[in-house]
Structure 1
């Protein structure tokens, strides 16, 4: 079982993947990136989903 971190706060994800928070939130709204919310506010996003989306866009 992998012990790598999968879920990131929005700020952590933006810094790690080099994608603006607003772009990540739009992907969440479009159903492309899974998220966890608390009180109606997005608190964590799925790093695996973000990695796949970034790879798709950059071809890397």
Structure 2
């Protein structure tokens, strides 16, 4: 069991990673970021996936 939060609402992810909701949803559509969905609507996104993508783009 992980003690670190890995799933975030889109608003939480936007605040934590400094990436717009539109960009996050674009990565979701591209299959880069995994999601949890309810009735076909994205409820949460995977923070590990987002972190990897942000690191890739920033070179950190």
* Aligned position for 1:35: 35
Deviations 1:10-53 (A, max 9, x none): 00000000000000000000000000110111000000000000
Residue of structure 2 equivalent to 1:54: 54
**TM-score scaled by structure 1?**
0.96
Q: Which structure 1 residue ranges, 4+ long, deviate > 2 Å from structure 2?
A: none
Structure 1 portions without partners, runs of 5+: none
Aligned length: 60
Q: Which runs of 5+ in 2 are unaligned?
A: none
